[in-house]
């Protein structure tokens, strides 16, 4: 006779389920910890750089992002977030931040000549020197030295004074510490005539070499910056040392740049085109300028300035039309091919599906080259085919309208989804 079922006699409590908040100190934890240490080291270095540059917005983003990443990968209750965090961080860094920064730039005067901050502009203007073009100066004998692609000028005065410096174009910014003491670099003067054959790694050029170099650079456009003046090259064998004076001084109390040479004041501009620049009393605009917030003036120009409004609206409308037609044509053509290939009476499905997958194997730039040849007005196969029906030739690549049509039907966006639909 079967015995009745008896319940287990062990009445000890079952062990509690493992907590999802318990930290696992296995090998994966230490690998994760090492990677986080590397990320934190790079973040600390970036923090120092951003703090020195005064980039407070990017600094705040970096601090919040670093704390978030450490929390996700160190806290045991955030395991689900660990899979999406890399994609989330990359999306914010390469998509959200550029969009927000571009939106901010649209409210500023960012353009060529206005890419610095105001403090940098003031330092540049105050460092500029003014040289009296009518000053006679002191003439020095000029010798040219070269080390591979680097050129140096040695000027020898009547009393044996030596000036050894790096030249620059007149239009370039001044070079700090452009001159060096040749004796500290090392002088080699084998014949004892006072003109060294070697200064450091720089070799004295012969007269023929100097003439050959003069064919590459204009000596008259070269100058050498001195602590209290400039060296102007007046020929292949002479340089003129002239004393320079300070041209600009900034009045911080009144926020005005003073032109010491022309004795005039240069306050910051207050019009649409002069914001972010010092404008002098004679109407001259000092360059460079700084990035300044101009509000909605850029958008106002788009609406009120016809030379900006017409091309902008044309490009804006074309972008919308291009995106809309790309989706419509892709969907219609892809759906039509898919329905055709799925029809039970269609033969050779595998062959045609293999053909339709080929665009994925052709790089985009090769596709552009192929279509440029196919759409050639005189020799392209597309116009040759149209000629059979007494049509064309169509200026696919030269007429603005037909170029848009060619770009629409031949773009990778319009071609490749066809394969997926099929």
> Which residues of the chain form CATH 1.20.58.370?
27-105
Q: For residue range 257-310, list pLDDT tens digits in order.
A: 999 888 899 999 988 788 999 999 999 999 999 999 988 888 888 888 888 888
Q: What is the pLDDT of residue 24?
A: 63
Predicted confidence (pLDDT) at residue 422 exceeds the cutoff of 70: no
Closest Cα to residue 220, out of 171, 177, 158, 179? 171
Alpha helix positions (H), 16-143:
27-53, 56-74, 81-91, 97-105, 118-126
Residue 82 near residue 24 (C-beta atoms within 8 A): no
Q: Mean per-residue pLDDT for 201-226?
A: 84
Residue 417 binned pLDDT confidence (cut-offs 50, 70, 90) = very low
Residue 412 binned pLDDT confidence (cut-offs 50, 70, 90) = very low
Q: Mean per-residue pLDDT for 15-29?
A: 63
Q: What is the pLDDT of residue 421?
A: 39
Between 342 and 67, the more confident residue is 67
Residue 285 near residue 267 (C-beta atoms within 8 A): no
Q: Mean per-residue pLDDT for 145-161?
A: 85
Q: What is the pLDDT of residue 420?
A: 41
Report pTM. 0.56
Predicted confidence (pLDDT) at residue 411 exceeds the cutoff of 80: no
Q: Mean per-residue pLDDT for 3-19?
A: 58
Between 184 and 4, the more confident residue is 184
Q: What is the fold of 312-421?
A: MetI-like fold (1.10.3720)
Q: What is the fold of 27-105?
A: Methane Monooxygenase Hydroxylase; Chain G, domain 1 (1.20.58)
Q: For residue range 224-259, list pLDDT tens digits in order.
A: 888 777 787 877 777 777 766 778 999 999 999 999
SS3 214: helix
On average, the pLDDT of the chain sits at: 82
Half-sphere exposure (Cβ direction) of 282: Cα atoms closer than 13 Å: 8
Q: What is the pLDDT of residue 259?
A: 92
**E strand or H helix at 281:** none
> Which residues of the chain form CATH 1.10.3720.10?
312-421
SS3 226: strand
């Amino acid at each position: 006779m079967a015995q009745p079922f008896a319940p287990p006699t062990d009445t000890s409590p079952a062990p509690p389920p493992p907590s999802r908040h318990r930290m696992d100190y296995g090998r994966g934890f230490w690998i994760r910890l090492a990677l986080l240490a590397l990320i934190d080291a790079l973040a600390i270095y970036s923090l120092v750089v951003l703090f020195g540059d005064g980039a407070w917005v990017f600094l705040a983003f970096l601090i919040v992002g670093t704390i978030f990443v450490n929390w996700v990968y160190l806290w045991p209750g955030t395991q689900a977030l660990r899979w999406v965090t890399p994609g989330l961080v990359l999306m914010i860094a390469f998509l959200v931040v550029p969009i927000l920064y571009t939106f901010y730039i649209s409210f500023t005067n960012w353009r060529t000549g206005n890419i610095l901050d105001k403090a940098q502009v003031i330092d540049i203007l105050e460092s500029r020197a003014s040289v009296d073009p009518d000053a006679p100066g002191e003439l020095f004998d000029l010798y040219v030295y070269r080390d591979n692609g680097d050129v140096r000028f040695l000027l020898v005065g009547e009393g044996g004074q030596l000036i050894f410096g790096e030249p620059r174009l007149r239009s370039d910014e001044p070079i700090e510490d452009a001159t060096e003491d040749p004796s500290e670099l090392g002088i080699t003067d084998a014949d004892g005539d006072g003109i060294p054959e070697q200064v450091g790694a720089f070799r004295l050029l012969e007269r023929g070499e100097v003439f050959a170099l003069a064919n590459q650079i204009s000596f008259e456009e070269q100058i050498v910056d001195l602590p209290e003046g400039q060296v102007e090259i007046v020929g292949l064998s002479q340089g003129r040392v002239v004393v320079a004076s300070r041209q600009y001084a900034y009045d911080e109390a009144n926020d005005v740049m003073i032109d010491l040479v022309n004795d005039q004041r240069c306050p910051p501009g207050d019009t649409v085109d002069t914001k972010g620049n010092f404008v002098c009393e004679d109407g001259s605009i000092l360059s460079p300028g700084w990035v300044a917030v101009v509000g909605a003036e850029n958008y106002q120009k788009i609406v009120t300035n016809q030379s900006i409004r017409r091309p902008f609206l044309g490009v804006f409308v074309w972008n919308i039309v291009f995106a809309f037609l790309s989706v419509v044509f892709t969907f219609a053509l892809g759906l039509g091919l898919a329905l055709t290939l799925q029809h039970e009476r269609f033969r050779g499905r595998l062959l045609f599906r293999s053909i339709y997958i080929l665009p994925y194997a052709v790089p985009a730039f090769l596709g552009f080259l192929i279509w440029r040849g196919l759409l050639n007005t005189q020799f392209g196969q597309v116009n040759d085919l149209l000629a059979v029906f007494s049509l064309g030739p169509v200026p696919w690549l030269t007429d603005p309208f037909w170029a848009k049509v060619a770009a629409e039907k031949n773009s990778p966006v319009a071609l490749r989804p066809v394969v997926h639909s099929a």
